[in-house]
Amino acid sequence: MTQSPGDRAAPSDRAGSGELEDLLRAHAPQVLSVLVRRHGQFDACEDAVQEALLAAFRQWPTEGVPESPRAWLVSVASRRLTDAFRSESARQRRELLSVPGEQPPVPTTDDTLTLFFLCAHPALSPTTQAALTLRAVGGLTTAEIAAAFLVPEATMAQRISRAKSRIRGAAFELPLETERSARLQVVLRVLYLIFNEGYVATAGSSLHRADLTAEAIRLTRAVREQMPADGEVAGLLALMLLTEARRPARLGADGELVPLAEQDRLSWDGAMISEGVVLLTATLPVAPLGPYQLQAAIAAVHAEAPSADETDWKQIVALYTLLQRFEPGPMVTLNRAVAVAQVNGPSDGLAILESVRAELDRHHRWHAVRAHLLELAGDAPGAREAYREAARRTLSLPEQRYLTTRASRLL
């Protein structure tokens, strides 16, 4: 796109490759939102935005970043869309487009939140919601998303394509107030899923994916900018920050998994912990309580404990008991069993764990927790077999190595 001298940034303002990628990634969902609102046709709009981003990546390093990057991207993407619609003779859509050659008006609103709601449409499965959010809002390529979920690129491309088809007729607008709370929970669940997949990869050779956790935090910040008064949005962001702060200590020098109790707390990210605690402290007294705030409060108790032995496990038990009222389920019960074992002893923890055997027997984490509690109870043979069973059931290579090592130490 040809720019007038007034639209070009001075040479000193030209962004480096990394800065340019960050700039484009931040603007991409806003530009896509503008086009989808104006023209519909999510698929065509996304293709046009990708072409505009590519044009910017080629031109801006030499021509300079425009004074209004978003307006530039909207203009280029709109023209690409016009060309595409012309070639397909889509008259009913062309009537909605700007006059060819005319500069589209500079967008004054940010519809990113609306785009979040669209990607988290209830007609899609949770995994597909996460994939579409990473694609449309996060700006990740199909190959990157496929790698994150450990599926072939062609498989992920089909999933994303089907997802776009399923929401093709959906209105690009915020849900009604009566529906917004439920739909927001879907958005937050998608972000939570993305973060968890990055923090504890479900399979493969890596324990975590720092790119996914960073992207989940960035996207959650974007939602909070749109909804600063929502306590659960703030709670989820605090939970992510407090959890991600521990990541530097989760792997040892040889790449082995280091459990929470054995981590070097001086390696935790103090800035993230401070931000998470401040955010949670400001939110809890004024916002209606919810499960993400409670999980963040649990993470804060761990983060603020000087050592594993000084952790306030009684407070954690109380928080898990309260969390079960908001979000009853076997995984919350499993976590509560660990906390109860720290307060009342391993036998009480094992009794609670047994209550969810039917729901979680196929999950490696149930067997890993059982092994840990049996080890605390002095049942070395039982713990050894439980560690081995957990190792057989996990698809994560670092977890397999850790669990196998724990079993071998009990010989």
Q: Is 150 left (phi over 0), alpha (psi -120 to 50) or beta?
A: left
What would the mean pLDDT of 150-156 be, rounded to a whole number?
Answer: 85
At residue 375 the predicted structure's pLDDT band, cuts being 50, 70 and 90, is very high
What would the mean pLDDT of 373-387 be, rounded to a whole number?
Answer: 96
- Predicted confidence (pLDDT) per residue in 53-84, tens digit: 889 888 888 888 888 888 899 988 888 887 77
User: What pLDDT does 277 receive?
Assistant: 96
User: What pLDDT does 367 receive?
Assistant: 96
At residue 119 the predicted structure's pLDDT band, cuts being 50, 70 and 90, is confident
- Predicted confidence (pLDDT) per residue in 224-245, tens digit: 988 898 999 999 999 999 999 9
In Å, how far are 92, 103, 112, 116, 126 from 120, measured between CA atoms? 28, 32, 12, 6, 8
Q: Which amino acid is at 226?
A: Q
User: What pLDDT does 318 receive?
Assistant: 97
User: What pLDDT does 149 receive?
Assistant: 74
User: What pLDDT does 5 receive?
Assistant: 33
Residue extents of the structural domains in the chain: 5-94, 111-203, 228-311, 317-411
CA distance 109 to 333: 43
- Predicted confidence (pLDDT) per residue in 95-109, tens digit: 444 444 444 554 545
DSSP, res 9:
P
User: What pLDDT does 170 receive?
Assistant: 84
At residue 217 the predicted structure's pLDDT band, cuts being 50, 70 and 90, is very high
Cβ atoms within 10 Å of 162's Cβ, excluding its own? 11
DSSP, res 17:
H
- Predicted confidence (pLDDT) per residue in 29-38, tens digit: 888 888 888 8
DSSP 65-111: --SSHHHHHHHHHHHHHHHHHHHTT-HHHHTTSPPTTSPPPPP-S--
- Predicted confidence (pLDDT) per residue in 253-309, tens digit: 777 889 999 999 999 999 999 999 999 999 999 999 999 999 999 999 999 999 999
pTM: 0.74
CATH fold group of domain 317-411: 1.25.40
For 150, the token pair is 């450990």
What would the mean pLDDT of 324-353 be, rounded to a whole number?
Answer: 95
